[in-house]
């Protein structure tokens, strides 16, 4: 049995009294079972109006996850209190012709390099949701307004929510980029505003999966020692001191500048 430190904390607290901030053991693994409509690659909307915004940059404590979610939610015109996030995998990005763009994360690049197209993803989803409602009511989409995920047609008094039209919207063709009109930053109510961060909860209840937690079948871990001087090269190394040590599989030179110890775990 392999038990990670985080799994031990979550399960142990649950067994001890179900504390763990109200989340029982296994809650993180089984929150969703049935798929919900993907309106655009960035936006998934559940029938109960919960919104999942996909984040394709790493959250390393700098606030990228919340900041990007704010940008998408701003253009989507959804209810921020119903927003959650998820990370697409690099494999999924490649399989879908890099629909989420670059997943490179460093410094302020996460927002600086992708703010335009993630906003467009949110705006496109909003347009599709409104179009679906307008089609159902047989009214022009231009006559409809939306606020916090509620679509209204003023002339008829009809209203609906994103969750009710998401499945129909998901079947529509996304608008061309030239047809997408983004909000003027002076009209923003979510983006750039002080909001509670979306990554805090998972960090304190033990449900967040960090890179170090990831386990795949047959996976090994490489720990690297590189030259401490820029431009330096690897002269030699002696692996005999750890030869035969439990869990150690290989000791390898890496491009002539570093040494990697490959083992069963960290």
User: pLDDT value at position 232?
Assistant: 92
Instruction: Return d(Cα 125, Cα 75) in angstroms, integer.
Output: 9
User: pLDDT value at position 206?
Assistant: 87
Main-chain phi, psi angles of 221, to 5 degrees: -120, 130
Instruction: Return d(Cα 12, Cα 63) in angstroms, integer.
Output: 30
Buried b / exposed e across 134-151, counting CB within 10 Å, b at 16+? beebebebeebebeebeb
User: pLDDT value at position 227?
Assistant: 87
Q: What is the pTM of this model?
A: 0.73
Q: Which residue has the tokens 């090269």?
A: 233
Domains of the chain: 32-205 (3.30.365.10), 215-263 (no CATH)
User: pLDDT value at position 5?
Assistant: 53
User: pLDDT value at position 17?
Assistant: 42
Indicate the burial class of 229 (C-beta count within 10 angstroms; 0-12, 13-18, 19 or more): exposed
User: pLDDT value at position 29?
Assistant: 35
Q: Which residue has the tokens 């703010």?
A: 115
User: pLDDT value at position 82?
Assistant: 96
Split the chain (266 residues) into runs of 10 and give each run's mean pLDDT: 50 43 32 68 95 93 92 97 93 93 86 93 96 96 96 96 95 92 95 92 86 86 91 91 91 93 92
Q: Which residues pair with 83 in a beta bridge?
A: 51
């Amino acid at each position: 049995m392999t038990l990670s430190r985080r799994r031990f904390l979550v399960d142990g607290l649950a067994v001890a009294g179900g504390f763990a901030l109200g989340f029982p053991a296994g809650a993180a693994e089984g929150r969703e079972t049935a798929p919900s409509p993907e309106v655009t690659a960035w936006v998934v909307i559940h029938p109960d109006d919960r919104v999942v915004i996909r984040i394709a940059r790493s959250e390393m404590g700098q606030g990228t996850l919340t900041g990007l979610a704010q940008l998408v939610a701003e253009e989507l015109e959804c209810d921020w209190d119903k927003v959650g996030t998820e990370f697409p995998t690099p494999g999924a990005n490649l399989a879908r012709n890099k629909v989420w763009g670059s997943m490179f994360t460093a410094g302020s690049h996460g927002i600086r390099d992708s703010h335009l197209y993630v906003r467009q993803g949110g705006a496109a989803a909003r347009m599709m949701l409104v179009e679906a409602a307008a089609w159902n009511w047989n009214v022009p989409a231009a006559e409809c307004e939306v606020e916090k995920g509620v679509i209204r047609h003023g002339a008829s008094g009809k209203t609906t929510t994103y969750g009710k039209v998401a499945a129909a919207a998901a079947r529509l063709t996304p608008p061309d980029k030239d047809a997408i009109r983004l909000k003027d930053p002076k009209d923003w109510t979510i983006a750039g505003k002080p909001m509670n961060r979306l990554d805090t909860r998972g960090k304190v209840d033990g449900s967040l999966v960090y890179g170090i937690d990831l386990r795949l079948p047959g996976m090994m871990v490489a720990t690297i020692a590189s030259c401490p001087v820029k431009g330096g090269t690897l002269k030699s190394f002696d692996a005999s001191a750890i030869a035969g040590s439990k869990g150690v599989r290989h000791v390898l030179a890496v491009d002539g500048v570093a040494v990697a110890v490959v083992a069963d775990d960290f």
